[in-house]
Amino acid sequence: MPTLKVGLIGCGRIAQLVHINVLASLPGVKLVALAEPDPQRREAACRLVPGALALTDYQELLALSDVEAVVISLPTWLHVEAAIAALNCGKHLYLEKPLATNLADADRLIAAWRESEVKAMIGLNYRFNPLHIEARALLQAGRIGEVFSVRSIFTSRGGELPAWLQKRETGGGVLLELASHHFDLLPYLLGSQVREVESTIESLISENDYAALTMRLEGDTMVQSCFFFGSRREDCFEVYGRQGKLVIDRFRSLRVELTEDPDASSRFQRLRHTLGLIMHSRLLGDDLLAPKREPSYAMALAHFVDCVRHDHVPSPDLLDGRRSLAVVEAAEESAKTGQMVSLPDSTDEDFAC
């Protein structure tokens, strides 16, 4: 098949650690153009892909006729306008999560996508992590029986966050940056959407950098989640079923930890988990390099490229991004009112225009 020519919009840390290297390694793909207004980031990106055309304005990149698809890796508050411009230019779109800073802007983007004839995918890449794929298969096979409770935690060490990640209006805070992944993974793993949210949100070091939530899924499964900037790095799900327990520990496990008989000795499980800590510690190294070691980025981009080249429908799409964002807004409303907030029932057709 002809080579797919891709443009990259935004050349910050994630783009330099992940997108450029992945796109350069995918067969049948050529990264032909970069757009980045900051001269230092643009120069650093050019060193990684010296053959690409370097531009300061993404509108110039979108005007290039040979660019067929774009990957957008901009600060969240810039997502919607850049993505709509790409769609209007007929470019296939891979947009890093979250979809937008608010649902009103998300719906404008979805309307533009509906009017286009291109593929569009949201970068909720953790769906492609092998642990989450394995866990989903185990849950669908009923290995722990009916699920009645879930606990999840996603924290990072924080450090020096860029200015835009420290303010909610520009896309900062743990709900958009961290929790949006879990809000997508819950329906992916369990097959049911979030229906009610109750939350507490605090600003300890930066704005909205701590959140604790209680959620109810379709079917009445209860979920308790915690998200925080400024702690040890952790990303874990504990799923409790009538016949066992399942643990997904993205940083510390080689495999999903499955206990099918709650009364059985867990010595073997503890031993396997300890070995996983040792063997999988590559994800526990320097925070700055952690995204480079996360396999789901490459798998998600490979899926996007495959869908474009073979005319398949990519998943997760922009509607999945909207569903995750809807939980973010419901959690924020709950934190303001002190009340449980219900998410409305909806279908994909509700966001058609």
Q: What is the CATH number of the domain that holds 85?
A: 3.40.50.720
307 shares a domain with 214: no
Residue 131 CB-half CA count within 13 A? 23
Asked whether residue 342 is domain-assigned, the answer is: no
- Domain shared by 161 and 281, yes or no: yes
Asked if pLDDT for residue 159 goes beyond 90, the answer is no
Q: Is residue 345 in a domain?
A: no
Number of structural domains in the chain? 2
Mark whether 160 and 62 lie in a shared domain.
Answer: no
- Residue 31 falls inside a structural domain: yes
Q: Give the CATH number for residue 279.
A: 3.30.360.10
Same domain, 150 and 259: yes
Domain annotation covers residue 292: no
Q: Is 25 part of any domain? A: yes
Task: Report the 10 Å Cβ neighbour count for 62.
Answer: 22
Q: What is the DSSP letter of 193?
A: -
Looking at residues 162-172, what average pLDDT do you find?
A: 95
Statement to judge: residues 223 and 100 lie in one domain: no
138 and 230 share a domain? yes
Q: In the predicted model, what is the mean pLDDT of residues 325-343?
A: 98
Check whether residue 209 and residue 179 sit in a common domain: yes
Q: Does 336 reside within a domain?
A: no
Report pTM.
Answer: 0.92
* Mean per-residue pLDDT of the chain: 92
**Residues 312, 313, 314, 315: is their CA dihedral positive or negative?**
negative
pLDDT digit string, tens, across residues 282-306: 455 555 456 778 999 999 999 999 9
| CB of 138 closer than 8 Å to CB of 191 | no
Backbone angles phi, psi at 239, to 5 degrees: -115, 120
Mean pLDDT calculated for residue range 319-324: 98
Whether residue 169 sits in one domain with residue 84? no
Query: Which domain range does residue 68 map to?
Result: 4-123+297-315
DSSP string, 286-353: -GGGHHHH-THHHHHHHHHHHHHHHTPPPSS-HHHHHHHHHHHHHHHHHHHHSS-EEPPP--GGGG--
Cα separation, 156 vs 56, in Å, equals 32
Six-digit token string for 179: 């929790």
Domain contains 347: no
**135 and 104 housed in the same domain:** no
Q: What six digits make up the tokens of 231?
A: 């702690």
The pLDDT confidence band at residue 353, using thresholds 50, 70 and 90, is very low
Cα gap 71→80, rounded to integer Å: 13
CA distance 120 to 90: 11
